[in-house]
Amino acid sequence: MEHSRISIIKGDIVEQHVEAIVNAANNSLLGGGGVDGTIHKAAGPGLLEECRKLNGCATGEAKITEGHALPASYVIHTVGPVWKDGKHRENELLSQCYHNCLRIAKKYGLRTIAFPSISTGAYRYPVERASRIAISEIVRFLGSDESIRNVIIVCFNDEAFRCYSAALDEIPEHRTNM
């Protein structure tokens, strides 16, 4: 969906030529598997060195570093909630991740940012629910901000691509079959 300031693509987030990519990190910010591992591998050891100085990150919060060897100039690290049962503020915390990443991007004057599907891998957040929360927070934020020009959601598998595309299609001004 390219019709607006939000685009959904399938691909690898480390290859995105945007100003900032978002990392789905853990509370230590010292790397891990999944997209966290791929980003650290592509960015090189300088990223971990910089992360060591950040003293971790609370769930729902976000912290920014340089992009190091990545094409992106910055990495915004956020820690999504681990899915339990939907009764432990998972929705609220996931929404906070997207909000805080966008808030930092705006503060740094960034115009393009790419997100992975936060919490839907090792943290087992159901991707259909997560996609609706992500899209509604991104749309809400962009509704009150003109500076961020393009938010890209980089899906690593077909299921995520389908869910995020469907979630975007549910937003009236983005509906493609008008």
Residue numbers annotated as active site:
36
- Residue 62 has φ and ψ, to the nearest 5°, of -145, 145
Residue count of the chain? 178
Please list every residue from 68 through 107 that binds ligand APR, using CB under 6 A: 80
To ligand APR, the closest distance from the beta carbon of 33 in angstroms equals: 4
Q: What x/- string results for residues 36 through 65 when contact with ligand APR is judged by CB under 6 A?
A: xxx---------------------------
164 lies in the binding site for ligand APR (CB under 6 A):
no
Q: How far is CA 20 from CA 4, 5, 26, 112, 120, in A?
A: 19, 15, 18, 7, 20
Question: Closer CB to ligand APR, residue 58 or residue 145?
Answer: 58
DSSP letter string, 49-66: HHHHTTT---TT-EEEEE
Phi-psi region of 119 (alpha: psi -120 to 50; beta: other; left: phi over 0): left
- Indicate whether 35 belongs to the interface with ligand APR (CB under 6 A): yes
Query: In the complex, what is the shortest distance from the CB of residue 5 to ligand APR, in angstroms, rounded to a whole number?
Result: 20
Q: Are 169 and 176 in contact (CB under 8 A)?
A: yes
* Site residues for ligand APR per CB under 6 A: 12-14, 24-26, 32-38, 80, 116-123, 154, 156-157, 160
